[in-house]
Every structure is written in structure tokens, then in C-alpha cells.
A and B are shown apart, each in its own frame.
Chain A
């Protein structure tokens, strides 16, 4: 079918081809962008990458609200009256051509001073002169070349996330001190009696002391704070022995150099802090192009057009009041619940439910917030304000305000309780033993035990294993919010799935013809008719019919909005549309259908069917061995029978669930003591995703939005879910194994400590050696297990 690709956007030609300047384009939009770039000598765009563009969207009047000073002030970063700086989020940025064109905006508009792209974050930061251009002009300009920015209600809140760089500074301080202290302590490692060494060692020791002070009081301060917090909650977390170890190291070393007893352990001290902080750093991995914190605000528009006595006025979405009349244009989102007054609505609720087929509404029908209008402009009257709407009031639930993570004990903490107790017991009994035998050595032994037992390797096991696995998952397109999620996944015993959009596929709604068979000629004519319609169902039908479009002429073509299309071809009168349009009896099934009537005789209908993802059967079969499975759907029971035959017998199927019901259902499972994972996709799952122990959001396109969750999975990898769960469990086993290895090191060190033979050089070798072997051990093992997935 394909006859080549569009020069601009690379789309396969299926319909007509628009030739221009010896190149071929798929639509006028693409041609226009090419023209704009061509006129401004920006053709280089096409040299960098082949077919880099995207089809620009219609924007007539859409950005009028950017004229309002109140709205502008909420969006811009900086404005001194003369120059303005604004950062726009442009989700379609995808290649180097995009960077190039967006950084050459000043060639398209003189008022733009500079524009800088941040590719990983998909943002462009524009600086412009207020006198020569405006925010609206810029937004319209970049939209016209196919880079529509995404401006949402969230931007209006304007509390930009600040990246915390403290950890980097702490590591820098520790690394600086570690390197220098190592050099300075080297001469004394071999304990040779030498004149020059003797003369200058005091200087060396005091330099080491001063370098260690910021390491203890700045770099390591979080360990002291965390240990103190743990103790005040009567929890012996892993930071208690670490803080104790650092404290003892510092005090003993200081005492040693003050009274000229020895060199101290400053090298081990700084090294220890450095390695620990590295572990912390490694565990952090953020995907700058993803957000795990989104609520409805990132989906909703910032402003809306209010009709005031036939006059249009742009108001902020927060300022919408009950009784207002709103104008919703094509491709705009309905921000509040209301009643449709004027026009025919085709609402796409895929953001909310995951259902990709638009729902038709007539005037007088109630429309709910979250739907995207897909056919022309409509007018509606507001019934509820933004925060009180059916969908958005979900966010007033407590679950969205809870501060999670505080009371969850991780694997390291649970083992450190026994570890800390053991160390305290060993050091006291050894202290008593040596006190009776030789009181001078007693202090030496006790401090040595606390130093050598400082669980550096132990504390590094989990961060490196989890951090590495987090990266491996990321490479496999399973994006986790943080490393702790792996631990939580390993503990799950109940899986709850949403149906539409999660186990069914969004973009592959399949059509099926039922009724009297159509001849090839008839199909070709239907295709000709639907080509003239922009309705989403018509487009779907157009793509579905394989025959070539009929070359005949249509007479009396008419599109009756909300009903269907009709026209005469070669003496035959075709009617294509809803059941009432062709006077057919509406059937009882809940699936969307397009009816076909030729010369008033009903031929049959095209039925849209949800397609289940590949491997749903296998995935459920595999998971059924280890987990309790539930399907929690907002839909009616239309497909219950089918699901019962496909899925394992003990899978619970629950239908007709409102967003709040889903949340409550998860809660009730948790009350039974189950660890629940929710796997969903739409905003209606947001409550359940937040309430569950682990919420995974399935996304067809990870650049598009997904509700707040713990992990985002690329939809094409749905079949790999069982493998990911297995891998999480294996990671936990690896951590346990590496605990054993680090205990072995502690035993060896303990031998030196208990016999009173711990000299600085032993500590300086043992501590990094144990840390490095642990890091190598967990990295090699996690990579090995991940290979098989």
C-alpha cells in the first residue's frame, strides 16, 4: 500500500500525495512547515536526520489565553519588562534536527534572542524581547513548525522542582579529603624509623586532621542525623553502627595524634565516608524525561474560553464557577463536569479510562471532566468546579497526601538490628575481658572492634545491587521511581490489573464486519465515502478496508454530525453511521459499531473490538503460580465470558468500578494483610495506583503522560512482567548473599581487633578491599541474572 514516505514527517503515504519543490508531502501541514523552513534558509533541518518532522496541529484561537497578563506571569521564569525568559515543555522533541531547529528560532522571529534545548528533559528555554514579540506569538510559531508545547495546569502552580545537589558536594568533599589523606598517611604505613619522616610526621598528621573535620561534620552528617532519628524511634537502623564507627574513628584518631600515640585512622575514615556516599549516589537514578508524581493537573489545560454574553473571554481553569458557559474547541480537554449545550461532542476519554474510541454526546447530555473533544467546537455549562468534578475529587483522598516510605523497613535495616546488637555485645565482653587482663589495651580493643565492624560493605550491598538493577530495568524500558521499588516488588503477593488500556491494547482496536458480505466494489465505495470525513471512526474504517479507494464520483455527500455520512455513488445511495441513522435496531452489545446501509437496505455493521495484548494468556498463566490475580475494571461486564475462558480459573473479575471503588478495593485487600500491586494506565486508576504497595503504570508511549505511580512500563513489554518480578526477587537473594560475604570480612577484621593488633595499614587495606569486592560481587551477579531476561 505504501508508496513512499513524506519528506517532512516520514509517514507512509496512504492517501493523496502533495508534491512541492520536487519533494513529496503527506499533508498540507507538513508542506507548510517545509515552506517556512525553506524561506528562512533553515533547510539544514532535513540534512541532519531524514524526515525529522511532525505534522503540525491546528491551533486557531487555541492560545488566545496567552495574551492575558495574569496567565503569562504564571508561566514565565523571568520578566524585567524588557526581556522575558520562559521554559516550554515540548514532548515531540526526539532527534538532533529538533534541537537544531528549536535553537535557530531567532531566524524565524527577530524578537527571540536565544533558545536553548535541554534534550533529556525535552524543554526549550526561550529568551525574547517583550517589545518585538509575545509569548503567544512564540508558542504559535513553534506550534506552526510542528513542535507544539505542552502547557498544563501544573505549570501554573509554578513551584519548580529544585534538584538537591547536597550529595554531590558531600561526595566532592569526601573524595578530596580521601585522596589527600591517603597520600599523607602513606609514609607512615611501613613504620620505618627515619629522621625526616620523624621530623615532619606531626605536620602530616595535623593536615590529615583538618581535612577529616569537614568529612565528619559535613559529608557524614546525614548518617548521624539518621542514626539519631532511628534511635529516637527505637529502631536500630544500619546508620547506627555506621555513625558509631565514624564517631569512634574520628575520636580515637584525634586522641592518637594529640597525645602522639600514633597516626590515627584518618585514611580509613575518609575512605569509608567516600565509599558510603558513592553507594548512596549510585542508588539514585532519575529519568529526567519521566515524572512519577503527576496528578490531574499535568493533564488539564491552564485556561479555558468562557462565553460571556456571546463575548469570548479567557479565564484560568481554577476560576471556573458553576453556571459558567465554556467553549471547548476541537482537541481541547473538558476541564470540569457540565452539561453539553451546543454542538455534537465526540469525547476521547483515553486519558481517563484507557479506552481509545471516542464516545458521542448530544446536547443535554452530561459530560465529565477529562474527556478530549475530537470533532469541532462545543459549548457547555459548568455543573461543578475543577476540584469538585467526578474525576478530580479523587485527589482529595488522603492517599495522595500520605508521606510514604517513612515506616517501611528495608532489607538492610532489618538485618542491621541484629548486627548492631552483636557488635555491642562483642565489644563490651571483649572490653571486660581485656580490662581484667590489661586495662591499657582494653580501650584500644573496644575502639578497634567498633572501627572494624563499621558495616561499610554491608551498607553498600543493597545500594549497589538495587541501583544496578534499577539501571538494567531502565535499559529494558521498565522505569522505576527509585531503587526501593525493587524491594517492594519482591514482596508482592497479589496483582490487580485494570482492563482497558492495560491488558487490552490501546491503539489496536480491531474492526470486525458482521452481516451480509459486501462486494469488493461496495467496499471500495465505502472507503471513498469515509475518506471525506474527519471523524475518528471514519478514519479507523478507512484504514481497515483493504480495497483501493473507488475512483468514482460522489454526489450529494453529506456529513451529519453525531450521526453519520451519506452520499450517492453511481446510482447507489450509501448511508454509513450509527444505528439510528440507518434505522437499524440497536443491538445489546456494548461495542461501538458503524452500520452500513445501501439503498435503504441494511447490509451489516463494522464492530470495534478491544484487542488483548499479546501473551495475556501466558502472562496470567505464569503469574498465577505465584500470585493472586484480580481484574478490576471500570467497564461493564460485556467481556466477562471471554475473559473467563482465557484467564486462569481463580482469577477474580470485578466490573463497574468507579475510581474511588478501585481505591477502596485495594485498601480492603491490604487490610487482609496482602501486599498488593496495581497495574493500570488511566487517570481513573490513579487512586488505586497510589494506595497499592506498588503501582505500575502501563504506557503505550512513555513520553506521553501517565498518572503518579512507582514504575512505568512500556506497553510493548507487557509480556515480560513475570520476568521483571522474578528478577526483583533474585536481586533480593543477591543482596542476602552479599551480606554473607561482608560478614566474612567482618570476622577477619574482628580477629585483628580482638587480639589488639589493628594497625592503621590493616584497616586501610581491609576496608576498601571489602567494599570493592562487594560492589564487584553484586554488579557481576545482577548483570548475570539480567542477561536471561
Chain B
């Protein structure tokens, strides 16, 4: 049962790891603006679409 020292030790280290990670995310301001990133994420698709249009146009022009 001495293994309990290891398991508890490991679990606390993991927990402390998450705790530090949380503090870091707060400090770096990741929760300051919770709206804009959600919108921004969707823009990448739009940009790709636009590029597709352009390439299509180019192909059409070449024809």
C-alpha cells in the first residue's frame, strides 16, 4: 500500500499543474474578451471562399 504515496503525490502534481495553467491563462488575459475570438474564428472560412472565387475568375479569364 506504500504506492499510495506515489499516487497521491502524482495526483497532487497533476492538480497543481492545472492550477498553474489556469492562473497563467487568467494572467495572459485570455478571459478578457470572450466574444470577439468566437466571431473571428469564423472569418477564416470566408477568406478561403474569397480566394476560391478569385482563382475561379482567373481560370475563367484564361479560358
A residues contacting B by CB (< 8 A) are: 41, 43-44, 47-48, 96, 99-100, 103, 116-121, 163, 165, 168-169, 172, 176, 180, 196, 199-200, 203, 207
Residues of B contacting A: mostly: helix
Bound Cα distance from A168 to B26, whole angstroms: 8
CA–CA, A43 and B15, complex, Å? 48
Measured between beta carbons, the chain B residues less than 8 angstroms from A169 are 23, 26
Q: A99, B39: Cβ atoms under 8 Å?
A: yes
Instruction: Considering the complex, give the chain B residue whose CB is closest to the CB of A48.
Output: B46
Are A203 and B1 also in contact (CB < 8 A) when A163-B32, A169-B26, A176-B19 are?
no
Give the residues from 8 to 51 in chain B that come closer than 8 angstroms, CB to CB, to chain A: 8, 12, 15, 19, 22-23, 26-27, 32-36, 39-40, 42-43, 46-47, 49-50
Which residues of the other chain, A, contact B19 by a CB distance below 8 angstroms?
172, 176
Closest beta carbon of chain A to B30's beta carbon, Å: 12
Please list 21 pairs of residues, one from A and one from B, whose beta carbons are closer than 8 Å in the complex, sorted by A's number: A44-B46, A44-B49, A44-B50, A47-B46, A99-B36, A99-B39, A99-B40, A99-B43, A116-B36, A118-B32, A118-B36, A119-B39, A163-B32, A165-B27, A169-B26, A172-B19, A199-B1, A200-B1, A203-B4, A207-B8, A207-B12
Chain B residue nearest to A179 in the complex (CB): B15
Per the bound structure, the CA–CA distance linking A200 and B5 in Å amounts to 9
Closest B-chain residue to A180, C-beta based?
Answer: B15
The chain B residues found within 8 Å of chain A, CB to CB, are: 1, 4-5, 8, 12, 15, 19, 22-23, 26-27, 32-36, 39-40, 42-43, 46-47, 49-50, 54
Chain B residue contacts of A172, Cβ below 8 A: 19, 22-23, 26
Give CA–CA (A96, B40) in the complex, Å: 8
The closest CB in chain B to the CB of A96 belongs to: B39
Chain B residue at smallest Cβ distance from A120: B35
Closest to A195 in B: B1
Query: What residue in chain A is nearest B9 (Cβ atoms)?
Result: A207
CA distance A196 to B36 in the complex (A): 53
Cross-chain contact A119 with B33 (CB below 8 angstroms) = yes
Q: Is the CB of B26 within 8 A of A165?
A: yes
Check A41/B54 contact, CB under 8 A, given A163-B32, A180-B15, A207-B8.
yes
Minimum Cβ distance to chain A for residue B28 (Å): 11
A41-B54, A120-B34 given. 18 additional CB < 8 A pairs? Answer: A44-B46, A44-B49, A44-B50, A99-B36, A99-B39, A100-B46, A117-B40, A119-B36, A120-B35, A165-B27, A168-B26, A169-B26, A172-B19, A172-B22, A176-B19, A203-B4, A207-B8, A207-B12
Among B22, B27, B35, B43, the residue within 8 A (CB) of A100 is B43
On whether A196 and B46 interact (CB within 8 A), knowing A41-B54, A165-B26, A172-B19, the answer reads: no
Cβ of A117 and Cβ of B36 under 8 Å apart? yes
Q: A117-B36, A119-B35, A176-B19 known; A203 and B8 CB under 8 Å?
A: yes
Name the A residues within 8 Å of B49 (CB-CB): 44
Residues of B within 8 A of A121 (CB): 33
- Complex Cα distance A109/B7, Å? 57
Would B40 and A103 count as touching, CB distance under 8 A?
Answer: yes
Q: Is the CB of A41 within 8 A of B50?
A: yes
Q: Is the CB of A176 within 8 A of B35?
A: no
List A contacts of B34 (CB < 8 A): 120
Compute how far the CA of A96 lies from the CA of B36 in the bound complex, rounded to whole angstroms: 9
A169 and chain B: residue at smallest CB distance:
B23
**Cα distance A44–B23 in the bound complex, in angstroms:** 38
Chain B residues whose CB sits within 8 angstroms of the CB of A180 once the complex forms: 12, 15
Q: Which residue of A lies closest to B43 (CB)?
A: A100
Report how far A163 CA is from B54 CA in the complex, Å: 45
Q: Using Cβ atoms and an 8 Å threshold, which residues of chain A touch B32?
A: 118, 163
Q: Is there contact, CB below 8 Å, between B4 and A200?
A: yes
Q: How far is the CB of A407 from chain B (nearest CB, A)?
A: 33
Cα A47 to Cα B54 with chains together (Å) = 16
Cβ of A480 to closest chain B Cβ, rounded Å:
21
Most buried by A among B1, B26, B35, B42: B35
The 4 A-B residue pairs with the shortest CB-CB distance, nearest first, are A119-B36, A118-B33, A96-B39, A119-B35
Bound-state Cα–Cα, A46 to B55, Å: 20
Instruction: Determine the chain A residues whose CB is within 8 A of the CB of B39 once the complex forms.
Output: 96, 99, 119
Report B38 CB to chain A, min CB distance, Å: 9
Instruction: Give B5 Cβ to nearest chain A Cβ, in Å.
Output: 8
Quote the shortest CB–CB distance from B45 to chain A (angstroms).
Answer: 10
Q: How far is the CB of A455 from chain B (nearest CB, A)?
A: 29
Contacts of B27 in A (CB 8 A): 165
Q: B4: shortest Cβ distance to chain A, in Å?
A: 6
Residues of B within 8 A of A119 (CB): 33, 35-36, 39
Q: Are A196 and B33 in contact (CB under 8 A)?
A: no
Bound together, the chains give a CA A41 to CA B36 distance in angstroms of 23
Residues of A within 8 A of B35 (CB): 119-120
B40: which A residues are within 8 A, CB to CB? 99, 103, 117
In the assembled complex, which residues on chain B have CB atoms less than 8 Å from the CB atom of A196?
1
Question: What are the residues of chain B within 8 A of A203 when measuring CB–CB?
Answer: 4-5, 8
- A116 vs B5: C-alpha distance when bound (angstroms): 48
